[in-house]
Homo-oligomer: A and B are copies of this chain.
Amino acid sequence: MRWTKGGGHGSRGYHHGNLKEALIRAALELIAEKGPAGFTFADAARWAGVSPAAPYRHFRDRDELLSDVALRGFEEFERRLTKAWDEGRPAPFAAFERLGKAYLAFAREEPAFYSAMFEAGIPLDASAELRAAGDRAFGVVRMAAEALLALLPAANRPPALMVALHIWSMSHGIASLFGRENAQRKLPMSAEDLLEAEVLIYLRGLGVPGI
């Protein structure tokens, strides 16, 4: 019946055809509904329409499923950050602002991915793949930091790694405190504006020209 490609979905036979993908989608649905702790292996199986034992053919346990979700999350995250950065066009500073907005947009639009990536307690080195994907995503921010620092005179140019970590921490702090529905606190401004102002002040502190 070829589920893998083709889109149609009807009754199925003994075999599902693409259970692994279906389980990952189920996890995303369920995490989005009730948080990373709010879904069980059995839930995912039910959602996919298979028996409670079926998931064990694809994942050792719930954590491995979550880890796989996190992996795909980092990959999508990297795609979005890369697209937002767009190699620094038309100017590093404008691209940098897009990067921050993309970070927040990802947290808001893909809360299930974000939860699995940062809040589910999955250690980043659960697998080499996961760490590599996380590193690639961070690499985008680091590259952006380098491009921005190139605008500074070499004399007072701080380490790009440090600046990237700073930017990441600001974005992550705002996203996890104020970025989503279950935000911790009402704000007098949008999370986007709050982050933009924060980054702006920070860059002024670095002495980036034109700010």
Contact = CB atoms under 8 A, between A and B. Distances in A.
Interface in A72-104: none
Interface in A158-211: 158-159, 161-162, 165-166, 168-174, 176-178, 182, 184-185, 187-189, 194-195, 197-198, 200-206
B202 A162 contact: no
A186 to B, nearest CB: 10
A174 B202 CA distance: 15
Interface range on chain A: under 10, 10 to 19, 20 to 34, or 35 or more?
Answer: 35 or more
A184 B134 contact: yes
Contacts of A182: 121, 123
Nearest to A166: B198
Contacts of A197: 158, 162, 166
Contact of A37 (B37, B168, B178, B205): B37
Contacts of A195: 169
B185 A138 contact: yes
Closest A-B pairs by Cβ, 8 of them: A173-B173, A205-B205, A169-B173, A204-B205, A201-B205, A172-B173, A35-B121, A166-B198
